[in-house]
Structure 1
């Protein structure tokens, strides 16, 4: 809006804006399209779970996840990402209504809306398009000269990296931290939630609950909805995917 100071709202995606972990639902979809009967998906996720249970940092698990796509053309993942999202959204229970409503209210009032995710653009870009977000900041897989994934990433967009990305975005766009909002669901979102003037969270993560006690944090409900922010009136449930 003309004459208004620039403002920004930052949204974690998985289990804040959408109801699943996109990395894993997309992986299952991708492997199934390529002939997996579920055994390869189980092998990959069991390995990642074991690493998590052994105390591996989320950043390390994130890097290991992307090694699954070594040798795959990035363009093929982008195309598959749209197919995955279309199927996912059509099944219902895809979004959390409070978060989508907040994003659309921000956007309609001239606030820049930014999605922050440890997932990658093939899975996140369709979400951004569906809700009308302005920008995405996600984990970036490295590709070779032929556009084929090397299996490595530039930096997992998790934890401290999200905080650094928010600081950089505010600097680039001349936005004061006083004119910001943030939405997350996990303790690893704290590095960016602490930076914004008006943090909000969904769920019961103990680190977020403790942080919320120290200030005025908005708590988002678990109401389910669609990409327009409309709430479902039936008893649709969120699918459980690790």
Structure 2
């Protein structure tokens, strides 16, 4: 079987890992508390940016600590109910067309994301795709802010795809992968048809060196 593996943030959608939490907080906090919370987040952005440059896995773990204390089920339910109004308009048109083309050819669609499972699950369901994503730990109905597995970034993405391919009899040599960041390079290197989408500078150099396809999606 042939599969098409899609990174989500920056590839399939015009989003990043910070946005789902910001959307939820904006909907549930009084305006003054939301802007206080947002100010605190923005003050940490330079630190997050620096950590992300050094170790994306560490950045993801640090940022997801901000979910600590939030009610797990209401957060999941809110993201599911607001998918059509918030996330759906942020899907890149070319990406959606690409997904539908793969599906028309009988290819299995798999979303592989560093974002959290509940934030991307509505998108996967709407697309008819499988989802590989990390989950947050819960205790007494609240998120602890700790991940239950390694963040789905870098080598962890590739390892998850390898396990998935073995479980579902996927021929990786005939399969496709789409990513926008150099952290997706391990994933792209697994398949016979890697595609760099709006690649960052490092991924663009790597794609040119390896002869990978490069595309520009708006």
CA apart distance, 1:105:
1.2
Q: Distance in 1 between matches of 2:36 and 2:54?
A: 23
Unmatched tracts of structure 2, length 5 or more: none
Aligned position for 2:146: 152
Aligned position for 1:66: 64
Distance 1:204 1:183, change over 3 A: closer
TM-score (norm 1): 0.81
Is 187-196 or 207-216 further displaced after alignment?
A: 207-216
Q: Distance in 1 between matches of 2:55 and 2:80?
A: 29
Distance 1:97 1:207, change over 3 A: same
Contact 1:18-1:96 at 8 Å conserved across structures: yes
Aligned position for 2:109: 113
Say which of 36, 44, 50 aligns to 2:47: 50
Say which of 13, 21, 28 aligns to 1:34: 28
Contact 1:121-1:140 at 8 Å conserved across structures: yes
Unmatched tracts of structure 1, length 5 or more: 1-5, 224-242
Say which of 158, 173, 180 aligns to 1:163: 158
Contact 2:179-2:199 at 8 Å conserved across structures: no
CA RMSD of aligned residues (A): 1.9
Count of equivalent residues: 213
Please state whether the residue corresponding to 2:209 is helix, strand or coil.
coil
CA apart distance, 1:189:
0.4
Q: Distance in 2 between matches of 1:155 and 1:186?
A: 18
Is residue 219 from structure 1 mapped to residue 214 from structure 2 by the alignment?
yes
Spell out the pairing of 1:90-109 with structure 2 (5 A cutoff). Answer: 92=89, 94-109=90-105
Q: Distance in 1 between matches of 2:201 and 2:129?
A: 30
Contact 1:201-1:208 at 8 Å conserved across structures: yes
Q: Distance in 2 between matches of 1:89 and 1:63?
A: 23
Is residue 183 from structure 1 mapped to residue 172 from structure 2 by the alignment?
no
Aligned position for 2:19: 25
Q: Identify the structure with the greater helix proportion.
A: 2
